[in-house]
Amino acid sequence: ALRGHKGWGPQWASPEPRKDYDVIIIGGGGHGLGAAYYLAKEHGITNVAVLEKGWIGGGNTGRNTTIIRSNYLYEESMDIYEHSLKLWENLSQDLNYNVMYSPRGVMMLSHNIHDQQSFKRHINANRLYGIDNEWLTPEQAKAYCPPLDIAKNARYPINGAALQRRGGTARHDAVAWGYARGASDRGVHIIQNCEVTGIRRDENGNVTGVDTNRGFIGARKIGVSAAGHSSVLMEMAGVRVPLQSQPLQALVSEPLKPMFPCVVMSNSVHAYISQSDKGELVIGAGTDQYNSYSQTGGLQIITHTLDAICELFPMFRRVKMMRQWGGIVDVTQDRSPIQGVTPVPGLFLNAGWGTGGFKATPGSANLFAHLIARGEPHRLAAGLTLDRFRTGRLIDEAAAAAVAH
Ligand code: FAD
Ligand code: PYC
């Protein structure tokens, strides 16, 4: 292959759509492709199509800062994020595709007594549940991440940090491509440039298929896994969902030699950072505070984030930024996802992952496949129902989301 890249076949097939399928999944991000993979692999359901309006991985899967961790507060969250983290640990072997999972540690900076109390609460909850998380002094934080400025007179002083050593990063494109290849090899149809424009139902309300820019495609079951466009799709089936779609921005620097050994997040100053294997600093911000479907975002948001990065890591002050972009995140009021049945028979929803669903990709996909195959949630996702917004049994993960909303 190194001599002219000869002999490479396509990684996944690009078939014409069939007239109908047992299952259609709307959205060719990591969650949708992964669900198709697990439907085929674990449930023997292969008459499946993943419909993607653009190219696979072109949504939030290919736009995020790839931070992986499971240090959430409530059991409903710890269950699914830890399930996911365990799948990450073996995903490259499972897919026979290097997703470059790198457990380099995720360190969350504490800047004040409020942060400290909140992090210690999370650490205690995590450890009681068997999930690693530990408190570091400022000196220990600096030893873990030498570029960090822990001076007492710094603009954003640091009074400690929470560290999840098993947290880290993975290569976002590889996750989409690995799941796509694994699903396609098992007979799943991956259909790109296929936008769903309507969801049809019969006289009893059951789903019958979808209208697309390539015509009608029938299905007995439909899974919506469309991130920032989830509410648009659910509206097509007559279901209003409690989601807001907002831009979230990220940017990368020019490539540098390896010198940033871990992931650092600071919720209080709206910045998070790691270094990619290409050498770029990968930096992200808080959400833009308005609803939008435009994958860009306001300049003042990333300016603020870069100000913060320069205060926390003064050695980066002269680094040049290369590219900036936005993704559209689907945010719930309690900052927890929705995965479950819907009022429409045959229609299943996986949404609301907001600013934090990359880490959840394998776990969410695995449990969404279970939901679609069995018609009821797996016990690890049983609390993530749409119904909680009616009953009031919310799962408030605003602090663990760790991204300013
Ligand atoms: P997507 O990858 O967005 O896939 C949904 C797909 O649905 C898209 O490809 C879209 O084109 C398609 N679609 C939409 N409408 C239609 C239609 N009508 N017909 C057909 N297809 C349709 N999470 C973390 O855990 N860690 C992070 O560090 C992190 N950083 C982030 C940074 C940024 C800047 C952003 C934007 C997000 C970040 N996230 C992070 C969140 C994470 O990216 C998402 O939660 C996750 O990738 C969602 O995956 P998905 O497969 O559900 O969505
Ligand atoms: O959920 O860990 C996260 C995250 C980091 C950056 C954006 N989201």
Could you tell me the distance, in angstroms and rounded to a whole number, from the CA of residue 297 to the centre of ligand 2? 17
Tell me the pLDDT tens digit for each residue of 226-274.
999 999 999 999 999 999 999 999 999 999 999 999 999 999 998 999 9
329 alpha carbon to ligand 1 midpoint, in Å?
7
Q: How far is the CA of 322 from the centre of ligand 2 (A)?
A: 21
- Mean pLDDT of the region 287-299: 94
Any ligand 1 atom below 6 A from CB of 302: no
Among 26, 64, 348, say which to mutate for ligand 1: greatest number of ligand atoms within 8 Å of CB.
Answer: 64
- Would you say residue 38 has pLDDT above 80? yes
7 pLDDT band, cuts 50/70/90, is confident
Indicate whether 196 pLDDT > 80: yes
Residue 71: Cβ within 10 Å count: 26
State yes or no: pLDDT of 39 exceeds 90. Answer: yes
CA of 195, nearest ligand number: 1
CB 337 within 8 A of CB 350: yes
Q: Which parts of 28-99 are beta strand (E)?
A: 48-51, 67-68
Nearest ligand by distance to the CA of 107: 2
Closest approach atom of ligand 2 to CA 69: 2
Q: Which atom of ligand 1 is nearest to the CA of 225?
A: 52
| Residue 17 DSSP label | P
User: How many Å lie between the centroid of ligand 1 and the Cα of residue 361?
Assistant: 10
Atom of ligand 1 nearest to the CA of 172: 47
Q: Kindly indicate the confidence band of residue 31, based on its pLDDT and cuts at 50, 70 and 90.
A: very high
- Give the closest residue (by CA) to ligand 1 atom 5: 226
Burial class (CB in 10 A: 0-12, 13-18, 19+), 251: buried
pLDDT tens digits, one per residue of 202-233: 999 999 999 999 999 999 999 999 999 999 99
Taking the CA of residue 325 as reference, the ligand 1 atom at the shortest distance is 34
| Cβ of residue 248 lying under 6 Å from some atom of ligand 1 | yes
Residue 165 has pLDDT above 70, yes or no: yes
Q: What is the pLDDT of residues 347-390, one digit of tens each?
A: 999 999 999 999 999 999 999 999 999 999 999 999 999 999 99
Residue 144's CB is within 10 A of a number of other CB atoms, namely 17
Best residue among 192, 355, 361 to mutate for probing ligand 1's pocket (most ligand atoms within 8 Å of CB) is 355
For residues 73-101, one letter each, b for 16 or more C-beta atoms within 10 angstroms of the residue's C-beta and e for the rest, the string is: bbebbbbbbbbbbebbeebbeebebebbb
Contact 110, 116 (CB under 8 A): yes
The whole-number pLDDT of residue 9 equals: 87
Question: What integer best gives the mean pLDDT of the chain?
Answer: 97
Ramachandran sector of residue 31 (left: φ over 0; alpha: ψ -120 to 50; beta: rest): alpha
> Which carries the bigger pLDDT value, residue 326 or residue 5?
326
Q: Is the pTM of this model over 0.95?
A: yes
d(CA 187, CA 168) in angstroms, rounded, equals 32
| The predicted structure's pLDDT at residue 1 | 56
**For residue 2, is pLDDT > 70?**
no
105-117 average pLDDT score: 98
Asked if 242 contacts 394 with a C-beta cutoff of 8 angstroms, the reply is: no
Q: Is the CB of 209 under 6 A from ligand 1?
A: no
Q: Residue 354 burial by CB count (10 A; 0-12/13-18/19+): exposed, middle or buried?
A: buried
Q: How far is the CA of 403 from the centre of ligand 2 (A)?
A: 6
Establish whether residue 103 lines the binding site of ligand 1, counting it when its CB lies within 6 angstroms of any ligand atom.
no
Q: How far is the CA of 333 from the centre of ligand 1 (A)?
A: 18
At 175, the amino acid letter reads V
Residues lining ligand 2, Cβ inside 6 A: 65, 67, 69, 272, 284, 355-356, 359, 402-403
Closest CA to 369 of 183, 107, 150, 160: 183
Is 199 strand, coil or helix? strand
Q: Is there an atom of ligand 1 within 6 Å of 265 CB?
A: no
What percentage of residues in the chain have a pLDDT greater than 90?
A: 96
